[in-house]
Chains A and B, each alone.
Chain A
């Protein structure tokens, strides 16, 4: 294959990845199967690394594949697989079209202190068991949040408009969808980061990937050792400089005839544009471009400055890490209804409940990068992003919001798609006894107690008889809870009609437990098919 064909190939592959990744996160109709989603996201670097940190070596070879790919060809991941990277390419492309810039980019020196510090910070936090920096910086997870928080709701709006339009004309292929809206406080950081990414991409191409992104920096470091590298063949180069303004990474210093391959995202624009075939992509780089020190642009790549900044960040990281406190409580966003208010507040030990398959708050908070894929996949919308409900260490991670929905008894979707292993897959049978929290009943808030009328909504919805209706007064029955068979699905809390405090609610388990299976006794009734008792 000729070098010139690499760019169109890259564009095709990258658009495929971008479009499918976007559709997966938008998929409010739940058309993608869990298996497809898992395979498609297999190569996402950040989540794959988190998986291996948990010891799931066999199922987490995605990032090893990416490392091998990088060792062979450079940062192909950044140009074709990383959805946030490709998203930036789209922004840059639009920017060029809109601003009509003929020379959009030019060589710039790397921001080594910043990029290596952010990578170091991410790694140090991970080593100390906190995923929060990766959560904030991981490109895949940020992309997931962008789509889930901003694009998906807009798509749902458009869908609903078309659905109502078509329905009045007798076409029912679209149906209205309502998804709980995400609180503005939660959107704040993703909005900020979106602004940063779009702003940087608009003006400076892939500057974000070479300054902020820890995955980019890591792969950049790895690509220094790549077999195939892009380099300038000094003998053929006429110093026309055409490569300089097309390099999204601003890493071609054509005057010095050198390319900073650690920042090259393998977009191959330069290969296509070079009229003299002076830009090569081969394994011959060694003799052409020795790893010589002393060149001005490389000075800060290596050496002491970097180590110093690492030490500084280690220090601040430690201070931050030990300053972390678990605090804040779940807020009740529901509007109180006009009936008489309930008086007794819900009393929870854990303000946030983690999804089934996440084993414990500890495991979940350490392994979730808040890509929010599960939030989109969850058919009942019980999984909602949090802000600080888990504490700072669990920033933005999804939690079970039993005011938004309840966990479908037979559904295991979140564990099947989770790319980091924060939510591990459960079989349906295991799910039926996985206790993520336990039911609490506040009798004096209950409608049956306060109004002496029937209700039983909680018991109706309970799949495990953890909430039974027992005789109360006359024909009235009142809930009685059994914590042993409760799995914490939250159906009771979701449907309980009392406000502002619910009479029945789920308190999370720090560590998930195994619930007892409900004891069932077969009904014993003789049936006489010829008997009509009326």
Chain B
């Protein structure tokens, strides 16, 4: 199937799904926030499909990638590539999703799409074994290193309470569009890791954050550079032993995807999927209090897609 055909059919499927949902009275069941066919949306969630398919439909509902990427722009795509493990372990962002996001960027006219992560395990092994290096190359993007201090530039975080300065990867400053693709996971240190926590992969000195009130630092950094779009991969979700995981026993196949320009909103919705209480996740709560984003989903326009 050609991409264009596929997209057309996806749109069709989306409309049919939306229509059927509204006819069968799902509206009431999901509360006031459920308002299909009334875009633009603050947040779109999809469930039940493959990552690529869910993303196609979700981004379409958001008005297409054209809403975020203008022709000729350079795009930074930041997945989670923290660990030297295979995709089935759910410790890194789904490579198929990364590939599809990059393809959408190019279709929207992106000049270049660069991808990196400041990995925890050895970066070359992580890039390779996560399947993300191959996915990026297949989509025509460029994967770049993130594990050398020489690649990071001094910055200040004016809005930070605890975190006032640090070093951020030069690509963050040199690209026009910033797309954050975290994977939803349990996290031993930060309770849960989603969009806000994924930004720890664009800074240099993570130890300082750990040493100086981690949860506050995560929220503080949310004021520095908000991603233009957050795409939460909740296809394979690590519910325990995160963020690295021990085996595939830690994984549940959740087949979900959440996208939103608002990190706090995306993280709140994703935390609910996870089964957590968002208000108890300190960095989400603090980020909301600091105005990084909005965790009150009730007042937001949300589109839900069942694939």
User: Interface on A for B, CB 8 Å cutoff?
Assistant: 30, 160, 164, 172, 175-178, 337, 339, 379-380, 408-411, 447, 451, 453-457, 459-465, 468-469, 475, 477, 495, 497-498, 518, 520-523, 525, 527, 529-534
Contact = CB atoms under 8 A, between A and B. Distances in A.
Contact of A520 (B121, B190, B246, B304): B246
B297 A176 contact: no
Contacts of B250: 520, 523
B272 A533 contact: yes
A453 B217 CA distance: 11
Given A408-B84, A475-B280, A534-B297, A176 B145 contact: yes
B243 interface: yes
B189 interface: yes
B306 A460 contact: no
A29 to B, nearest CB: 9
Contact of B125 (A160, A408, A475, A521): A408
B144 interface: yes
A178 B255 CA distance: 39
Contacts of B121: 380, 408-409
Contacts of B268: 534
B124 interface: yes
B213 interface: yes
A525 B252 contact: yes
A472 B34 CA distance: 38
A236 B244 CA distance: 77
Contacts of B6: none
B47 A530 contact: yes
B210 interface: yes
A414 to B, nearest CB: 13
A532 B280 CA distance: 19
A477 B280 CA distance: 13
B148 interface: yes
A529 B306 contact: yes
A381 B123 CA distance: 12
Given A172-B144, A454-B190, A534-B268, 6 more contacts: A175-B144, A337-B208, A453-B212, A460-B243, A534-B33, A534-B269
B121 to A, nearest CB: 6
Contacts of A409: 84, 121
B292 to A, nearest CB: 18
B238 to A, nearest CB: 9
A530 B48 contact: yes
B150 A498 contact: no
Contacts of A451: 212-213
A469 B210 contact: no
B35 interface: no
A463 B289 CA distance: 34
Contact of B246 (A453, A463, A475, A495): A463
Given A460-B189, A497-B208, A177 B213 contact: no
B149 A459 contact: no
B249 interface: yes
B247 A520 contact: yes
Given A172-B144, A527-B254, A534-B268, A521 B214 contact: no
B17 to A, nearest CB: 11
Contacts of A459: 188-189
Contact of A453 (B47, B215, B302): B215
B84 A455 contact: no
A176 B150 contact: yes
A28 to B, nearest CB: 11
Interface string B261-293: 000000011001101000010100000000000
B191 A475 contact: yes
Contact of B120 (A447, A461, A520, A522): A461
18 contacts: A160-B150, A176-B151, A379-B122, A408-B122, A410-B129, A454-B213, A455-B214, A459-B188, A461-B120, A463-B244, A464-B246, A468-B188, A497-B211, A518-B246, A527-B254, A531-B47, A532-B304, A534-B297
B251 A523 contact: yes
A291 B108 CA distance: 86
A485 to B, nearest CB: 9
Contact of A447 (B150, B210, B239): B210
A178 B148 CA distance: 7
A409 B89 CA distance: 14
Nearest to B211: A497
A124 to B, nearest CB: 42
A453 B220 CA distance: 15
B30 A460 contact: no
Given A339-B212, A409-B84, A497-B211, A529 B246 contact: no
The 3 closest A-B pairs by CB, nearest first: A456-B189, A529-B48, A459-B188
A411 B128 CA distance: 13
B226 interface: no
A239 B282 CA distance: 92
B45 interface: yes
Contacts of A177: 148
Contacts of A447: 210-211
A495 B243 CA distance: 14
